[in-house]
Structure 1
Amino acid sequence: MTVQDVRAFNRFYTNLIGALDYSRHLYAPYTLTESRVVYELAHSPRTDAADLRAALSLDAGYLSRILNRFERDGLVERAPSGDDPRRTRVTLTARGREVAGVLDERSTEAVGSLLSTVPAAERTRLAEAMRTVREIFSDGRRPDRDDVVLREPVPGDLGWIVQRNAALYAAEFGWNAEYEGLVARIVADYAEDHDPRTERVWIAELHGRPVGCVMCVRDDAPATARLRLLLVDPEARGLGIGDRLVTAVVGFARDAGYRHLVLWTNDVLSAARRVYRRHGFTLVAEKPHHSFGKDLVGQDWRLDLAATRE
């Protein structure tokens, strides 16, 4: 391979990506950089201005001007960070979350339109080629949170959720096939009958492979959503994926009009419980039970979405 090969590929790829943004439809009325800031605020648990600068490699003055515009447009609110008053915490308002949703929807539609031109038989080869490029240029570095993408499920992902939950919890906690059956029923119920306006699944993808998931579904209680099947694969832990998945559920549930978000977990899942607590969930009940071949303590957690609305 020569320098000219790389430059030729770069020109081709730049033109390809540029074609997606026809007439600036994707980002209007915002620039690409402004849209990246909105995306980061919508998907990252770290929303201090300093974190935004580092994640996006932006000049402090440039970022400040962007945030000033967003504040005038009613997209963000700024306040001293609870962890360090010297830092500025930036959060999206309800209007900001709406804009983030529109931008994300446009991007998904544009990429989906591009992929529709690729024959189904070639898509696996394309994904492998993209993964190869990323891995070679990563030069063995550990993945970071920018390498992770949250997306909607594609055919095969729901089966992966069942398989990975069963295998992971068997390996880490010794749970038996009873748990696999529970997950299979949850996933099957969603696949057979769900309302995309009020229920959703997210897949966390790293280098073209699923490494995490979560679901938001209607609960039996009025105006209540239920978070289910939060999972992060061991190879991807430490990248903030659990936080991003829960952030996605909370934002979606709030925007869908739910007033409460609930979940059931077990006390042995300590890492997940820390994530729930960081997002404002409170433990409301717990009860010993024997399930999945083990003696466990089940816990019910709850988040009042109205009380935590920005």
Structure 2
Amino acid sequence: VVSNTVGMVYQSVAGAKDAVVGAVMGGVELTRAAVSGGISTVMGTRMGQMVSSGMGLALSRSEDWVDQNLPLTERELAAVAEPATSEVTTSSDSPSYFVRLGKLSAKVQERALQHSLGRARHARDATYAAVAQITSTLDLLESARTSLGTASNQIGGASEQLLQRWTEWKQKQAGAGQTELEPDGTKDESEKLEWRALSMVRGLSDQLRSACSNVVSSAQGLPGAVQDQLTSARQSAEELHSSLGSTSTLTPLLLERSRHHLTQVQKSLDGVMEYLLNNTPLNWLVGPFAPQITEKAEGDVAMEQAGPNS
């Protein structure tokens, strides 16, 4: 009887324990599900999306700040900074400095170099994109001229592609706050196509010129051959922009010269980027950089040392 009683008690206790454990674990899972569901619900709301968007914006701005700010105080940065030539302009009102790579410690030097290379890559990509768009627009114009010059004189193929590109270009310009005019209604289809193509390549050549000027903030300290390549790219972009701005028609000769300028821009930048990506020019004047605030003002330090009771 005692043995049976003990067995019954043990089973009752074990059953109660399992019930308690099951209830606790079930509660934990319910809590997890509730928390997870709550987070998903919150993030699905407008407020949650605003928080997520704000976090993304903050991270983006933090990355930009790290790129522009070297881990040096203003005093340290000013000690190694050098004046840049008149070719350099900065839009920021905050203190900014140009420094020679070779004057920086290895860690800071690497950050400064990567910042400058990132800038060069971005400008190179923008340059190549403009070159590709100008080239394809000129190709479409020539093909459209051929089709419009046939006996049927119908719009199709290249002409339609050119019209579609014009529509996309106008929308993009409108998004940037600029307005593109339509050609005179008295023009025939061939003249309208040429007018639109010329308007597009003019705008693209302006973008190309800007991108070429932003490959490096300063060429000081780079080898003479590299500086010559930079100058060649910028001059070719400038000549292209000037020739397109002073004409009312894209003659075969102008088309040929335009393609020559585009080839020269890309060839010159290829040489510049090949050098920058495979060398560390210690004499290169890079920047502009702002100091990282890592030390307190002397007045704040003095107040802390004095203490609250002094």
Q: RCO (CA 8 Å, sep 6+): is it higher in 1 or 2? A: 2
Q: Decide: shared fold, TM above 0.5.
A: no
Which structure has greater helix proportion?
Answer: 2
The alignment's TM-score, normalised by the length of structure 1, stands at 0.27
